[in-house]
Every structure is written in structure tokens, then in C-alpha cells.
């Protein structure tokens, strides 16, 4: 059984030139504080605004990265689909273009970077296989969004033995040999989401957490931080539970396979399929808030909210308070739901800056320049009220 919470791709605008970055970037960049973008100078491009969100300024430009010609950097994502991953690639490509322009490399001398990813974000085996293939090509460095915190350690050891530095991005792990982790402040952003959500819920009610990949550290960090913030700062709100969508999907597939092999199956071969939406509705009937830790989880959450509305209409019941729905990212479906009022607020990450900073961190590691342990690429809290502001429009994708 395949749960329907995947989405189509949605691309953003073209990238900036390195000259604008080197000559005008410093003047345009303002101080970065926490997870928020401070007031910026007018007339800057959307791409520059995203680079400005990176907390450590060494990672929003390629100055001083004197890589040899024909160097090759391998970037592995968790998925090849969706506007978020498109932005990762665009940031990555811009960093490589800036490097080649800065160093004057042309034609076959150019530095290269490739992006590879599984067909699905939770396809761990596929990501491991891709990593094996990439290590066989002996890249200068590897950047990887780790799909499973414990799945790639053998490959990481092999990379270290061969002098190939590994940088994590988007979602890291506790592996000690990582040269850097380029990511959103997952703990801080989830706590902020909890604070906004509690305010909108009037400091009372029940919240359901949706996690689509229980093996990705970024998602489990958001879940635990959100839970802790609610438990310590908003005691009138109860976290009713967490639904791990990948585990539900695996359980449903296992149940179907078992039913297919049962000798006592119905004569016509039909078996009752597990409907995850209906299962959640029956298990959590009193939920007044939904917190989704990723765009895939948001997509499933939108199916859930629609089913809740249908159920209320069928029974003639009227919700006492509107459901408060908070999530992550800025896919087209999410922005539309935000505009319509179905979603109350979004933590919008900075995948363009993440892709750019990952190439920079990989190059720094390869050159032995050292890296920050964690490179914070920033985020912004977005609501229907600030959605149309210039500041927010510049960072959407």
C-alpha cells in the first residue's frame, strides 16, 4: 500500500552571479540573529536573501576556496522530488558556478558537483547503494542528507580511510567523523513552532505530531523539541501522540502481504485495507492541533484535516475551535493551504542556502581549512499575515 503524501516539483528563480556576491554581498548582508532574518537592504535578489540567512558568513561565499581544476564533489539527498530538494540543487549549482568563475576554470577544467538521491525520502537501502557507487568514483568530498542515522557508518569509515571528507546536510547523525553538519536549527525552530501554536490554541487542547521518517535525525529532533517545549512551557496543552507515517506504511504493507498468504483469505482474494487516515481519526478523536515536521508530513496532515472536516459534516457536529495546523517548508501545496487558512503557520527553511553552504563546507574540508561543527542556514516563521511581505517573498521557493 502506498500512502498518498508525495508531491510534484516546483522550481524557483535563476541564481545570482559571483561578482555581485564578492563586490556587493558584504554591503547587502545584515546581522543574522537566531533563526530569523533581520531587516535587509532593499533591492537584493531572492538568492542573496537566502544566502544572507546563513548564520556563519564564511559559508555564503566561495572566497579562498582554491580547489584544483576538475575537482569532483558528490552530493546525496534524501529525495529527488519536491521544491525543497530542487532548491538544494540550485544552491549547490550556484556555489559550483561561483567557484569556477572565481578560479577561472572553463571547459574540462571546471569543478563539478553531482546530485543523486533515492526515489523516496525513506528509501534507506537505495541511498546506501548510491553512496557506495559514489565512493567508488573517489570524489574530492561527499555531502549527504542522511536518511537513517545508523545506516551509513560503514561507508563513512571507508570514506575516511580513503581520505574523502564527509559533510552532512539537512539531516545529520551522531557519527564522529563528519566534518560539518549544514542544517536548520531543528531544535530551536520546533520550539518556536510550539510557542506560536500554543498561542493560537489559547494554551489549551490536544496536539498530534506527524513524522514521516522516524529514522531521520532532523525529524526526530523536531518532534522531541516540540514535545519538551509544550511540556515545560505550555502545560495546558497535551501532546496526544506521534504518528510515524513510515512505520504505519510498513505495517500496512506487512499486513497486506500476510493477508495474501493466509489460506483462510476470502475466496475472491479481497482483503480489508488499512486506511491510515481513518485509523488516526479513530485513535485521536479530540485533537485540536496538528504539528507536522516535514513537507511530506504536512501533505498527509492536509488529508487528515479534510477527513476531519468531512466527519464533522456527516455527524452534524461543529468544532468548538478551528484546528490549528503548523508545519515545515514551503511547497506549493503548503503555501496555498496557508493562504486559505487551513494551515496556521509554517517554519520555512533555507534549502538554497543549505545547498550552497554544503558545497562550501565540503570544499573547506577537502582543503583542510576546518569547519564549524554545525552551520545554521536559518529559517523564518511564516503566516498568512506576513506571507505577502517582501522579506518573506524573497525566501520562498
- CATH of residue 59: 3.40.50.2300
Say if 12 falls within a structural domain.
Answer: no
Residue 334, φ and ψ in degrees, nearest 5: -70, -45
**369 vs 387: CA distance, rounded Å:** 39
Are 258 and 271 contacting, i.e. CB atoms less than 8 angstroms apart?
Answer: no
* pLDDT at site 28: 36
Let me know whether 315 and 285 are in one domain.
yes
* pLDDT at site 33: 36
Let me know whether 67 and 140 are in one domain.
yes
Say if 307 falls within a structural domain.
Answer: yes
* Cell 570544499, residue located: 363
Q: Chunked in runs of 10, what are the mean pLDDT values of the chain (397 residues)?
A: 40 35 37 44 84 96 97 96 96 98 97 96 94 98 97 97 98 97 98 98 98 96 98 98 92 72 54 76 94 97 92 63 91 97 98 98 97 98 97 95
The gap from C-alpha 338 to its chain's centroid, in whole angstroms, comes to: 18
Let me know whether 62 and 143 are in one domain.
yes
Say if 283 falls within a structural domain.
Answer: yes
* pLDDT at site 270: 54
Let me know whether 199 and 343 are in one domain.
yes
**397 vs 387: CA distance, rounded Å:** 12
Let me know whether 94 and 152 are in one domain.
yes
Say if 5 falls within a structural domain.
Answer: no
* pLDDT at site 18: 35
Grid cell locating 151:
545506516
Let me know whether 88 and 215 are in one domain.
no
Let me know whether 202 and 55 are in one domain.
no
* pLDDT at site 261: 66
Residues facing residue 395 across a β-bridge: none
Say if 386 falls within a structural domain.
Answer: no
Say if 340 falls within a structural domain.
Answer: yes
* Structural domain count, the chain: 2
Let me know whether 245 and 309 are in one domain.
yes
* pLDDT at site 390: 95
DSSP 372: -
Let me know whether 156 and 225 are in one domain.
no
Are 15 and 93 contacting, i.e. CB atoms less than 8 angstroms apart?
Answer: yes
- Pick the last residue of a domain from 330, 347, 364: 347
Let me know whether 178 and 253 are in one domain.
no
Alpha helices (runs of H) in the chain, residue ranges in sequence order: 18-19, 25-28, 46-52, 83-103, 124-136, 153-161, 186-200, 217-233, 245-261, 276-283, 295-315, 332-340, 351-366, 390-395
Residue 37, φ and ψ in degrees, nearest 5: -95, 125
* pLDDT at site 27: 35
What are the Cα distances from residue 309, in Å, to 196, 204, 341? 23, 20, 14
Let me know whether 116 and 228 are in one domain.
no
Let me know whether 64 and 197 are in one domain.
no
Q: How many distinct helices (H) and strands (E) make up the chain?
A: 14, 14
Q: Which domain holds residue 140?
A: 18-38+46-182+352-372
* pLDDT at site 260: 65
Say if 83 falls within a structural domain.
Answer: yes
* Cell 505495517, residue located: 251
109 Cβ contact partners less than 8 Å away, ≥ 6 residues apart: 69, 70
Say if 306 falls within a structural domain.
Answer: yes
Amino acid at each position: 500500500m502506498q500512502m498518498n503524501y508525495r508531491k510534484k516539483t516546483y522550481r524557483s528563480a535563476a541564481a545570482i552571479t559571483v561578482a555581485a556576491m564578492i563586490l556587493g554581498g558584504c554591503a547587502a548582508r545584515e546581522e543574522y540573529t537566531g533563526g530569523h532574518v533581520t531587516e535587509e537592504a532593499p533591492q537584493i535578489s531572492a538568492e542573496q536573501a537566502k544566502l544572507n540567512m546563513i548564520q556563519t558568513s564564511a559559508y555564503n561565499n566561495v572566497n579562498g576556496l582554491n580547489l584544483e581544476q576538475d575537482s569532483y564533489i558528490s552530493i546525496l539527498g534524501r529525495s529527488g522530488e519536491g521544491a525543497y530538494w530542487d532548491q538544494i540543487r540550485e544552491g549547490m549549482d550556484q556555489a559550483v558556478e561561483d567557484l569556477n568563475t572565481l578560479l577561472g576554470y572553463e571547459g574540462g577544467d571546471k569543478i563539478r558537483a553531482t546530485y543523486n538521491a533515492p526515489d523516496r525520502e525513506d528509501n534507506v537501502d537505495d541511498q546506501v547503494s548510491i553512496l557506495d557507487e559514489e565512493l567508488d568514483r573517489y570524489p574530492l568530498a561527499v555531502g549527504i542528507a542522511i536518511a537513517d542515522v545508523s545506516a551509513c557508518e560503514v561507508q563513512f569509515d571507508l570514506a575516511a580511510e580513503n581520505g574523502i571528507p564527509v559533510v552532512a546536510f539537512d539531516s545529520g547523525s551522531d557519527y564522529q567523523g563528519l566534518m560539518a553538519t549544514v542544517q536548520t536549527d531543528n531544535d530551536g525552530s520546533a520550539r518556536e513552532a510550539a510557542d506560536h501554536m500554543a498561542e493560537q490554541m489559547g494554551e489549551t487542547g490536544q496536539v498530534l505530531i506527524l513524522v514521516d521518517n522516524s529514522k531521520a535525525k532532523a525529524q526526530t529532533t523536531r518532534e522531541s523539541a516540540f514535545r519538551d517545549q509544550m511540556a515545560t512551557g505550555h502545560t495546558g496543552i497535551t501532546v496526544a501522540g506521534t504518528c510515524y507515517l513510515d512505520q504505519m506504511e510498513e505495517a500496512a504493507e506487512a499486513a497486506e502481504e500476510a493477508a495474501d498468504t493466509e489460506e483462510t483469505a476470502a475466496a475472491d482474494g479481497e482483503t480489508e485495507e488499512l486506511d491510515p487516515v481513518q485509523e488516526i481519526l479513530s485513535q485521536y478523536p479530540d485533537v485540536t492541533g496538528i504539528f507536522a515536521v516535514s513537507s511530506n508530513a504536512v501533505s498527509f496532515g492536509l488529508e487528515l484535516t479534510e477527513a476531519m472536516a468531512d466527519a464533522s459534516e456527516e455527524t452534524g457536529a461543529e468544532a468548538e475551535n478551528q484546528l490549528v495546523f503548523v508545519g515545515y517548508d514551503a511547497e506549493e501545496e503548503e503555501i496555498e493551504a496557508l493562504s486559505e487558512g487551513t494551515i496556521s503557520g509554517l517554519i520555512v527553511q533555507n534549502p538554497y542556502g543549505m545547498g550552497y553552504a554544503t558545497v562550501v563546507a565540503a570544499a573547506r574540508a577537502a582543503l583542510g581549512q576546518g569547519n564549524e561543527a554545525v552551520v545554521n542556514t536559518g529559517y523564518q516563521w511564516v503566516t498568512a499575515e506576513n506571507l505577502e511581505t517582501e522579506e518573506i517573498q524573497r525566501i520562498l521557493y
